[in-house]
Structure 1
Amino acid sequence: MASIFFARRVFLAGLAAMALGAAPTPAAPVVLAAASLQESMTAAARAWAAKGHARPTISFAASSALARQIEAGAPADLFASADEEWMDALAAQGLIVGASRADFVANRLVVVEPAGGRSRIPLRPAAALGHMLGAGPLAMADPDSVPAGRYGKAALEKLGAWPLVAARVVRAENVRAALALVERGAARFGIVYATDARASAKVRVAGVFPAWTHPPIRYPIALLKTASSPEAEDFRRFVLSREGRAIFARYGFSVPGR
């Protein structure tokens, strides 16, 4: 009988120890991030987890698609957009914590072609630019809604070439989908971010759009009103920190305003 009582005490003590050892860890932040941040934000999440935190769960897509998900009530903690317009749209609806909004990286816009090509994109005159880009399919993120596509359309309009290439544009759901079309040879040229071109060994940069041809490419990040992870704000601060910015710099992003 004594042995049974002792065994029961040992069993209960074991359960108590397991309960103490299995104390719940803070829920991992859920981050909705622009497709062009795929490698860099993943690296930031990995670095954050290496510090002993719960690794953020990240969903990548076009900023437009992510913003619509947030508007529809998708559960998430942070939104990292590739432009300020979609963040503005969410702010106007009261869906972000306004004080948490900050621009954390900037980018450049380039024309890419399949690796091995030797094209040099002429920016002037408009006819030369339009003739080259309009000669074959031109892959772009949807210029009506996706940031990379809107920047690209703005640049081509500024240079007077949009009417010459609009009919040959292949609209992709996001900038990485546009990049993939060029990688596969399904499009002769593509307009993507400089960081996208850097991430692929299957394309080369054939031209760079001057900054004056399009609105500044700045990426804002903000805490969502629906945030529930206790680590969401800390991860946002990490992204904005010197250590966090250094991670994004390794993938070709620059600091806004520089």
Structure 2
Amino acid sequence: MPSLRKTLAAACALAVLTLSAGLGAVPAARAAETTVFAAASLKTALDEITAAYAAGGGGKVTVSYGGSSTLAKQIEQGAPADIFISASVDWMDTLAEGKLIRPDSRVDLLGNTLVLVAHGADAPKLEISGQLDLAGLLGDGRLAMALVDSVPAGVYGKAALTSLGLWPSVEAKVVQSNNVRIALSLVASGDAPFGIVYASDARAESNVSVVGTFPAGSHAPIVFPVALTADARPEAEAFLAFLLGASARAAFERQGFQVLAN
């Protein structure tokens, strides 16, 4: 499947370059801006929110997007971030155990749902259950997912498929990517006929269809916590407050997130 390999390699390379560029730019500019490390699935909403914050005089915010596992490990290794928004409670817990976040600032910010998407804007709906012949629907194609053992969207996806008894039949057909937005891009391009992403991701891409929603009980609740890092600068508190405000809430809801924070 040469086309799929090329597309995935290019997407992964772009993600790495984007993250590296963001990290590389931070030390020189750190005194003048707030640096946020955020799960890739937040990109559409956060791009809008940071633009609104800057336009309102709040200052510049630089966001590095990636898989929550990659970002958490970067923070563990000393990357200069002020705020971390994870797609996984577990990765935030890992940083908390290492005393790398300010526990008093931690908030469960967002919730989400897990969906099966198909290539094209008008794919037929499916019922997501243990009776779904997902392997048969895939045929010789691949199921695009984020890394199933480390990236939250992939972890949730594998858990859901396992709970429904579908994982053994599709495991060999899964193509894994460094973050959920790369998985989404594989479906949008047609390199993978189906993928598992968050509902909010599906809204960000016009060339995919949500064909089914995984039952809530098939995986752990999807929660995006946010916190200031242990060495966050004072100005980061203002952006965290903005994230918890009405303008950000509206942007998150437009992108299909459920806002959990009051």
Who is 2:76 aligned against? 71
- Paired position in structure 2 for 1:245: 249
What SS does structure 2 have at the residue aligned with 1:29? strand
2:123 to 118, 126, 129: 118
1:256 pairs, out of 233, 254, 260, with 260
Q: Does 1:28 align with 2:33?
A: yes
Query: Following TM superposition, by how much is the alpha carbon of 1:130 offset from its aligned partner in structure 2, in angstroms?
Result: 4.2
Aligned to 1:92: 97
Match of 1:53, SS state, is: coil
Q: Contact 2:58/2:239 (CA < 8 Å) preserved in 1?
A: no
What is the aligned-residue RMSD (CA, Å)?
A: 1.8
Residues 1:141 and 2:146 aligned together: yes
Larger Rg: 1
Partner of 2:177: 172
1:242 alignment partner AA: A
2:214 to 196, 199, 209: 209
Shift of 1:117: 4.9
Please tell me whether the aligned partners of residues 122 and 128 of structure 1 are also in contact (alpha carbons under 8 angstroms): no
1:54 partnered with 2:59: yes
Deviation at 1:129, TM superposition (A): 3.8
**Kept in 2: contact 1:134–1:165 (CA 8 A):** no
**Contact 1:131 1:164 survives alignment (8 Å):** no
Q: 1:160 aligns with which of 157, 160, 165?
A: 165
Residue matched to 1:38: 43
Residue 154 of structure 2 aligns to which amino acid in structure 1? Answer: G
CA offsets 1:3-45 (integer angstroms, 9 cap, x no match):
xxxxxxxxxxxxxxxxxxxxxxx72110001000001111111
More displaced 10-residue stretch of structure 1: 190-199 or 111-120: 111-120
CA distance 1:134–1:143, shift in 2 (3 Å): farther
TM-score, normalised with respect to structure 1: 0.85
Gaps of 5+ in 1: 1-25
Higher mean displacement: 239-248 or 51-60:
239-248
| Corresponding letter in the other structure for 2:253 | A
Q: State the identity %.
A: 50
CA 1:120/1:247 → structure 2, altered by over 3 Å: closer, same or farther? closer
Higher mean alpha-carbon deviation, 115-124 vs 50-59, is at 115-124
1:243 deviation in Å? 2.7
TM-score by length of 2: 0.84
Q: Structure 1 CA distance, aligned partners of 2:261 and 2:252? A: 15
Corresponding residue number in structure 2 for 1:14: none
> 1:56 aligns to what SS in structure 2?
strand
Query: 1-side partners of 2:186 and 2:193: how far apart?
Result: 9
Q: Is residue 252–residue 259 contact of structure 2 (8 Å, CA) maintained in 1? A: no
SS at match of 2:109: strand
Mapped contact 2:45–2:255 kept (Cα < 8 A): yes
CA contact (8 A) 1:105 1:245 kept: no
The equivalent of 2:235 in structure 1 is 231
Give the gaps of 5 or more residues in structure 2.
1-30
